[in-house]
Amino acid sequence: MLKIKRWLSSSYGTHQFWYAVLRITVGLSISFGHGLGKMTGGSEKWMIIGSMGLKNIGVESFHTFFGFMASFSELAGGFLLAIGLLVKPSAILLAITMAFAVLFHIQSGNPGVEFAAIYGIIFLYFGLTGPGRFSIDSKLFGWEK
């Protein structure tokens, strides 16, 4: 009990705990709240998603493939982020996906731009700072204070 009290009273332990809570919450939210529905939608849904993101930048082909990749990055990347495995690459791919989502929402006038932007900044933060102490990555590859 004394160890837990000491850990909770240190700023480092508290920071790492809340970092993990944020990583897990955001990862599960994007994975199951957004990615799962898109992945189970099939090729028609992927084509719509891909065309929404790519037509804005002038790309007129491979919409189904890129829609699948966006959906997959949200589902798998969010789950990997939540469990703390391959956090940096997953977070960077998610940040790129959110950049396209922001672009789509801005050009379409859709009010969802704030959520995509907030998710994008959070994913960029995780991509730049790494997995944190309470993650699978830290157990496999070591965590430096």
Which residue in 142, 139, 33, 44 sits closest to 78, CA to CA? 33
Would you write out the chain's pLDDT as a tens digit for each of its 145 residues? Answer: 777 667 666 777 788 999 999 999 999 999 999 999 999 999 999 998 888 878 778 888 899 999 999 999 999 999 999 999 999 999 999 999 999 999 988 988 888 899 999 999 999 999 999 999 999 999 998 865 4
DSSP state of 132: -
* Extents of the domains making up the chain: 29-136
Angle 100-40-71 from CA coordinates, rounded to 5°: 20
Q: Within 10 Å of residue 18's Cβ, how many Cβ atoms? A: 11
| Residues 75, 144: Cα–Cα separation, whole Å | 29
Q: What is the pLDDT of residue 67?
A: 93
Which residue in 14, 68, 19, 63 sits closest to 40, CA to CA? 68
CA count, 13 A, side-chain hemisphere, 12: 5
Angle 115-48-59 from CA coordinates, rounded to 5°: 95
82-98: buried (b, 16+ CB within 10 Å) or exposed (e) per residue?
bbbebbeebbbbbbbbb
Tokens of 83: 């469990």
Contact assessment for residue 61 and residue 67, using Cβ atoms and an 8 Å cutoff: no
Task: Give the pTM.
Answer: 0.86
Q: Which amino acid is at 83?
A: I
